[in-house]
Chain A
Amino acid sequence: MTVILGQMFTGVSIGAVLLLIALGLSLTFGQMNVINMAHGEFIMAGAYTTYVLQKSLSGAGISLIVALPVAFLVSGALGALLEWLLIRRLYLRPLDTLLVTWGVSLMLQQLARDMFGAPNVQTRAPDLLTGNITVIGGDDPLTFANSRLFILGLAIAAVVALSLTLRLTPLGRRIRAVVQNRDLAEVSGISTSRVDRTAFFIGSGLAGVAGVALTLVGPIGPTMGTNVIIDAFLVIVVGGIGQLKGSVIVAFVLGVLQSVLEYSTTVSVAKVLVLVAIVAFLQWRPQGLYTLRTRSLV
């Protein structure tokens, strides 16, 4: 019994990681229609930021706390820069953004390799996050890893923050207005270019936060972005482009599906089966879980 509960928790925690890596993309790809292949490299930038901070600050706990806002700003700034330099010229040609940002992603990977060396690096997790808490004691205890709980909390906080920003703030209203009808928003006095850049800043910043979370799970390296970017796009596409709600549901469903299949088969087989399930689902619902044709954005 505890095995099943433990495995459910694992699924949820994999889902939380998926959600974090896909969340920023749900804004830039989902809402703004920019296929940003460099999103994974913004995640990498967040992870390396954590690494640099840990080198310069004593105490793994302090550096992790500091890394969250700093990584958000670093990756956000990179995103805003990318938007200003290249993407704003391409809003009418969404497919071209794929090629351009892919090139940028290769350049960022090489930059990371030059700055930090080709071998992957690791950070120390704070002592508090290396242990686990016992949920059910006894002979067959159910334990939850503290680092996974932290990531889950972080994912929930990020979703809530993004959702509230889109729903309640003037910026959120402007973003939604631009997404729904760019021309009408422009004539209503909204500076669409400024809205674009801010939205890109937030989406990329969220990638940085995901990067901080990933340092708790595995190593940091120049190619870590390419390892997660496909998963992030899958979550967005299956959830329905532009649908935050869809991304959240799909991330957790895929996480649980992956962990259940991994438990009953093997890691590689599970990956194949998840992909097959996704393909089958998209045959049935090409528009994703939530359809585009709705006024609701969040």
Chain B
Amino acid sequence: MAAGAAALAALVALSACGAKTDAGGTSDKAVQADTSGDTVKVGLLNSLSGTMAISEVTVRDSLKLAIDEINASGGVLGKKIEPISEDGASDWPTFAEKAQKLIREDRVAATFGCWTSASRKAVKPVFEKNKSLLFYPVQYEGLEESPYIFYTGATTNQQIVPALDYLKSEGKKKIYLVGSDYVFPRTANKEIKAYAKANGMTVLGEDYAPLGSTEFSTIANKVKASKADAVFNTLNGDSNVAFFKEYKSAGLTATSMPVVSVSIAEEEVKSIGSQYLAGQLTAWNYYQTTAGAANTKFVKAYKAKYGQDKPTSDPMEAAYTSVYLWKAMVEKAKSFDPEKVRAASDGITFDAPEGKVTVDGASQHIYKTARIGRIGTDGLIKQVWDSGKPIKPDPYLKGYDWASGLS
């Protein structure tokens, strides 16, 4: 009886939605954001459970921090931001479903989130079809542009290429590639191999483990036997825990064979344990230790809100920045309408914790400074190299001859 009532209620709710949003989802008509009240809704779409939660929960926290700050200073166009948080559960179809729900049922003005490229690829058609905006805060493999996505993390030429330049300058000529078996590592490794070929480096081996995999003894053996100069690590999520435990067990160290990781930031270092990671390298655009007043303020505010032992990381910073960039775009456009916001985006700047960032309206990526860091025994990452100035985003690597065959 109760079940029947619940089903009936669900049916009524569904048909009510249908009345205003065409819940069938077949229409290409854009769903207008609901801005009739004192608030404007935005979607937060992150994995709060599953293998990626280790990373994505921190992004959600940092998005909430930015939203709180903006609300405290008066909101956007006089409206308070109301975040609607959804759990993508480290499962790509779930991401697509939740994106659809945020856009069509909650009628959000913009959505912030996603981490893995697989989740981004899963939601991309949803945002494009509904003509709604996604702000994506994580470094990725490039080779993508979408009119409805703003990429506030690094693209290839702002992270992977500088990391390879750094290895080359350190005389590391033989490298081994280890990654999770999905789109980001496979594409990134394609780019790395093209780079290596053009720059006199040798790729000795390439191994992938399923996302979430925790059995790395064979891969560690292969890496060890290869006698490479360095390992380029594109593993995502907590597979890194198992990988670095096994790496140390195999007797490999940061001195004998350094690992450059592009998906491990302060939060992951903390939970993997710095005893496994001390001395290893990372490539990002931001570290908790990055100098500057904007970062001091960000780190202080984050720790005050979430606890003194909580570190800040690159994707968290990019997520935080993305909310401010959206605010600046909306204010310039004087509208929440995605098309007007997009049109207003070119040249928007923000004094972000990582330094000044500027939106490149053509590619909808942003100018970012590349930084290589070394993980310390205290779990913090110290910068050992930076690009000196923000690098113009080049998602399709058009500025590099060796990348001409990639697509």
Contacts and interface: CB of A to CB of B under 8 A. Distances in A.
Interface of A: 3, 6-7, 10, 13-14, 17, 113, 118-122, 124-125, 130-132, 141, 143, 145-148, 214, 216-219, 221-223, 227, 259, 262-263, 266-268, 271
B222 A145 contact: no
Interface in B36-93: 48-51, 53-54, 57, 87
B407 interface: no
Contacts of B210: 267-268, 271
Interface of B: 48-51, 53-54, 57, 87, 181, 207-210, 212-215, 217-219, 221-222, 224-225, 238, 241-242, 245-246, 248-251, 271-273, 275-276
A268 B208 contact: yes
B250 A262 contact: no
Contact of A124 (B49, B181, B208, B273): B273
Nearest to B227: A140
A219 B250 CA distance: 18
A221 B89 CA distance: 13
Nearest to B276: A130
Contact of B53 (A120, A141, A146): A120
18 contacts: A10-B217, A14-B217, A118-B53, A118-B57, A122-B241, A130-B249, A141-B251, A143-B250, A146-B249, A147-B249, A214-B214, A219-B241, A262-B218, A263-B221, A267-B207, A267-B208, A267-B210, A268-B181
Given A143-B250, A267-B215, 10 more contacts: A3-B221, A6-B224, A118-B48, A120-B51, A124-B275, A131-B248, A145-B217, A147-B249, A219-B241, A267-B210
A148 B49 contact: no
B267 to A, nearest CB: 10
B53 A122 contact: no
Nearest to B55: A119
B251 A217 contact: no
Contacts of A119: 48-49, 53-54, 57
B50 A223 contact: yes
B209 A121 contact: no
Given A131-B249, A132-B250, A217 B218 contact: no
Given A122-B241, A132-B251, A218-B245, A263 B51 contact: no
A10 B57 CA distance: 34
Nearest to A223: B50
Contacts of B212: 227
A124 B274 CA distance: 10
Contacts of A120: 51, 53-54, 238, 241
Contacts of B250: 132, 143, 145
Contacts of A222: 49
A118 B218 CA distance: 29
A217 B215 contact: yes
A147 B245 contact: yes
Most chain A CB inside 10 Å of its own CB: which residue of B49, B53, B218, B273: B218
A122 B273 contact: yes
- A3, A7, A122, A216 — most chain B CB neighbours (10 Å): A122
Given A7-B218, A217-B215, A217-B242, A118 B251 contact: no
Contacts of B57: 118-119
A143 B256 CA distance: 15
A45 B404 CA distance: 52
A222 B89 CA distance: 12
Contact of B249 (A124, A132, A214, A219): A132
A148 B249 CA distance: 9
B381 to A, nearest CB: 19
B217 A218 contact: no
Contacts of B248: 130-131
Contacts of A267: 181, 207-210, 213, 215, 218-219
A266 B205 CA distance: 11
A121 B218 contact: no
B152 to A, nearest CB: 23
Contacts of A13: 217
A263 B218 CA distance: 6
Nearest to B207: A266
Contacts of A214: 214
A3 B250 CA distance: 12
A264 B238 CA distance: 25
A119 B54 CA distance: 5
A236 B213 CA distance: 22
Contacts of B54: 119-120, 219
Given A130-B249, A227-B212, A218 B241 contact: yes
B132 to A, nearest CB: 26
A148 B248 CA distance: 12
A131 B87 CA distance: 38
B249 A113 contact: no
A217 B217 CA distance: 9
Nearest to A267: B209
A263 B222 contact: yes
B59 to A, nearest CB: 12
7 smallest A-B Cβ distances: which pairs? A218-B214, A145-B249, A118-B49, A218-B242, A119-B53, A262-B218, A219-B238
Nearest to B212: A227
A25 to B, nearest CB: 19
A176 to B, nearest CB: 34
Nearest to A129: B249
A137 B221 CA distance: 16
A148 B181 CA distance: 25
A14 B276 CA distance: 21
Contacts of A259: 217-218
Contacts of B208: 266-268
Contacts of A219: 54, 214, 238, 241-242
